[in-house]
Structure 1
Amino acid sequence: MDTPSSSPYGTYVIAVRGFVAPFEIGVYAHEHGRRQRLRIDLRLTVRRTAPRFTDDVATVLSYEGLVAALETLSEGPHIQLLESLADRIGDLCLSDPRVVEAEVSIEKPHVFPQIDAAGVTIAYRR
């Protein structure tokens, strides 16, 4: 059966780990009108289009574009929920037809004094 993830050449994984930027995010009144640092990790499973890599960046999914897109999102309007932000990032990841799966993890560090971070991890599939 031919599925979006099927490829005679298999898949590979790219990761963006530890992207940190200030976002305007949160449901509480004290979180509106100010930016909070978030940590974002991405893991994308990408369909290979050839049996071997040709050492040409044009033939692979570059993480540079992902980082630039995250920077643009960080400059956007207020978002209430980490889950909503994850959905936007998941949509962005799946906008490339080669991506068959994306995992988005977002952490809000030091949101409570008792913990290092609170966050969500959501998987997106075609």
Structure 2
Amino acid sequence: MTDLTLNCRRLFLRNHTVDVRIGAHDFEKLGPQRIIFNVELFVPYSASTPTQDDLAEVVDYDFIREVIARRVAQGHIVLQETLCDDLMRALIAHPQVQAVRLSSCKPDVYPDCEAVGVEIFQTKSPT
């Protein structure tokens, strides 16, 4: 086991479905596509244990949703890789977040598979 799994709280957003203007192919540029996001934030246990049972003491799940919504609102994205990299930069920048696992997938592109997608994992660089 790594220090992240031993000493961190893992917050997650599962199967968050958003209509996104994304794609490199002409047919993908005709309108938004469903994208399913899965996000895990690793926050040090010592920095994420509330003492007052107060939302201000933890990383709010709304933070994840807002990061996704802000990026999607910026307009058409050609590649899922670009989308995930942009989201990763915003998520890992949170002062309490030490690592992020993020995936996006397009469930409607090919009829012969469940989805196509990208997953990335990044830890915060020591300062």
Do 2:39 and 2:101's aligned partners in 1 also have CA atoms closer than 8 Å? yes
Could you tell me which residue of structure 2 aligns to residue 41 of structure 1? 38
1:60-108 CA-to-partner distances (Å, cap 9, x unmatched) read: 1111121122122222211111111000111111111211110001010
1:124–1:112 distance in 2 versus 1, CA, 3 Å? same
1: CA distance, partners of 2:83 / 2:47:
33
Structure 2 residue 68 is matched with structure 1 residue 79: no
Do 1:110 and 1:117's aligned partners in 2 also have CA atoms closer than 8 Å? yes
Q: Of the candidates 17, 20, 28, which is equivalent to residue 17 of structure 2?
A: 20
Return the structure number with greater helix share.
Answer: 2
Could you tell me the TM-score, scaled by structure 1's length?
0.85
How many residues end up aligned between the 2 structures? 120
Following TM superposition, by how much is the alpha carbon of 1:52 offset from its aligned partner in structure 2, in angstroms? 4.3
Could you tell me which residue of structure 1 aligns to residue 8 of structure 2? 11
1:32–1:56 distance in 2 versus 1, CA, 3 Å? same
Do 1:48 and 1:98's aligned partners in 2 also have CA atoms closer than 8 Å? no
1:83–1:48 distance in 2 versus 1, CA, 3 Å? same
- How high is the sequence identity, in percent, across the aligned residues? 27
1:16–1:28 distance in 2 versus 1, CA, 3 Å? same
1:7-43 CA-to-partner distances (Å, cap 9, x unmatched) read: xxx3211001111111111111121241101000001
Following TM superposition, by how much is the alpha carbon of 1:45 offset from its aligned partner in structure 2, in angstroms? 0.5
Could you tell me which residue of structure 2 aligns to residue 90 of structure 1? 88
Following TM superposition, by how much is the alpha carbon of 1:116 offset from its aligned partner in structure 2, in angstroms? 1.2
Could you tell me the TM-score, scaled by structure 2's length?
0.85
Do 2:67 and 2:91's aligned partners in 1 also have CA atoms closer than 8 Å? no
Unaligned ranges ≥5, structure 1: none
Following TM superposition, by how much is the alpha carbon of 1:51 offset from its aligned partner in structure 2, in angstroms? 8.5
Could you tell me which residue of structure 2 aligns to residue 56 of structure 1? 54
Following TM superposition, by how much is the alpha carbon of 1:50 offset from its aligned partner in structure 2, in angstroms? 5.0
Unaligned ranges ≥5, structure 2: none
